[in-house]
Chain A
């Protein structure tokens, strides 16, 4: 288990402040946040490549805050993988074994087994200059695994791959994680990647840890507008708490011109009647219907279609409130579920389901 407590790291004028998290053995913790938010600094500090200003790091109960990187047994895969250009794939993989004086027979056996697992038997003698993106990923993973480290730090290692290859490597990462009992610490700004690989997630924004928790909890219940933006919440509306009931909160939004019934659990903090709050809802949680649809009368408002974009199996619909022109919404609708035709200028009824509305501040 990796445990990080109150880590503060400085890099020039930039500072990452008071970071705390723990990662269970065999699980994957993801750092999600925009570029330049300090995610890589955290990874480098856990790897031992950077000393923190304050805070402590424990690995399997042992404090390693100032332990040298070569003594930590934590493998690190930077964004560009840093395969050694002066070596073949095989030499890259066997690097840690040569450094640690492993017997040649044992080393050969390990390379063979890793090459089989990662399906790179055919490229072992190739120079790394002649590898494709996917082959490089596999070679770098094999090199990290060969070191025997059970903890692997992955710093956006898949960012240069196309979608299909990226998915292939996700499955591969999951497979080797269960086969080798690996613990991952992953840095990414890709929501799909975070959602696929992560068991727990920390949201990092401008050097601050906005939120940490289980994947579903962080994705479904972001606790701030910044965190909601990072986990992909597209729609925000201001409102005032009108009434607090046993299971529901009634919020009136002047900009939508309607009252919303929101589940009480969707607020991460206690609310008082009269409090001004911001609500958020994902584009794919909005329902669109004909304006005369009587079954959608609560939590609903009329909008006008402003633009429609086709994106694979979905339509992305940009909506403008029928009366309050400053109020806009973005809806994502599956093509095969949709009976509406979206014509620009057409009025539609938009349903904001109470269970999906997040109370952010």
Chain B
């Protein structure tokens, strides 16, 4: 068997693992139940809340991630290594721990002040967005940094010798050349936020029709032994995420093919 075939076999085996898990949902699947569920105000609320919260999360995450990733990609500065390491915090600290850290912060004098004078986060929709931002920010900075790393520094260098300030060089040359990668990073961040559970449930709780995102809905239905309901929520979540990922890939398809 050629090396090419072995690698393809590995790729297919991954599809089989996830495909098998998705297919297993069929054991508890009922079309009628799913159709009734999709029409129910509770699941519609969860869909709307999940999409809205993930979209707001992505908006704020990218606003923070783009300049931060650019700095990490282009400049050397004191503490760069610490920042770089901390960005991996969401990767090695469980989302529940991140959520617990947010809750603990809101019990400190600074957190109490924020909740009292700026915005109540704990057990609210704002808490969902905050928890998602904390959970996905590190990953989105990593993704965006990888995009900037791919764009040669020489473009900015030449732009500057042609009279552009660092910001003009960034906005007229780097950013337009990074848009495909930035879009992909945005979509992946969004998908990650839509499926976020641990931090969300710790900060915002499980309040039906209030802080019930799709992952929270799955948890709540499982907890009340509503397996068919949980399956319905899983299918809705998977369908939304896959559709977004598929259409974004379709929009910017091309590349990545190496002839053997």
Q: Which A residues are within 8 Å of any B CB, using their own CB?
A: 44, 47-49, 68-70, 72, 74-78, 80, 82, 84-86, 95-96, 99-100, 143-144, 147, 149, 153
B163 within 8 A of A: yes
B160/A49 in contact, CB under 8 A: yes
| Min CB gap A101→B, angstroms | 10
Which chain A residue has the least Cβ–Cβ distance from B158?
A82
Which chain A residue has the least Cβ–Cβ distance from B176?
A86
- Interface of chain B residues 173 through 200 with chain A (CB within 8 A): 173, 176-177
B115 within 8 A of A: no
Produce 1/0 per residue, B188-223, CB < 8 A to A.
Answer: 000000000000000000000000000000000000
B161/A47 in contact, CB under 8 A: yes
Most chain A CB atoms below 10 A, which of B157, B161, B164: B161
Set A77, A80, A96, A149: member contacting B152, Cβ < 8 A? A80
* Known interface pairs A84-B177, A86-B176; A70-B160 also in contact (CB < 8 Å): yes
* Known interface pairs A47-B157, A69-B157; A86-B164 also in contact (CB < 8 Å): no
A85 to B158, CA, bound (A): 13
A80 to B157, CA, bound (A): 12
Residues of A within 8 Å of B26, CB to CB, are none
A49 to B164, CA, bound (A): 13
Which chain A residue has the least Cβ–Cβ distance from B151?
A85
Set B155, B163, B173, B176: member contacting A96, Cβ < 8 A? B163
Which chain B residue has the least Cβ–Cβ distance from A100?
B163
B173/A72 in contact, CB under 8 A: no
B107 within 8 A of A: no
B162/A147 in contact, CB under 8 A: yes
Which chain B residue has the least Cβ–Cβ distance from A146?
B162
Which chain B residue has the least Cβ–Cβ distance from A86?
B176
Residues of B within 8 Å of A44, CB to CB, are 157
Residues of A within 8 Å of B119, CB to CB, are none
B158/A76 in contact, CB under 8 A: yes
Residues of B within 8 Å of A77, CB to CB, are 158
A80/B168 in contact, CB under 8 A: no
A98 to B157, CA, bound (A): 17
* Known interface pairs A86-B177, A99-B172; A70-B155 also in contact (CB < 8 Å): no
- Interface of chain B residues 129 through 176 with chain A (CB within 8 A): 152, 154-155, 157-165, 168, 172-173, 176
| Min CB gap B71→A, angstroms | 18
A49/B157 in contact, CB under 8 A: yes
| Min CB gap B209→A, angstroms | 46
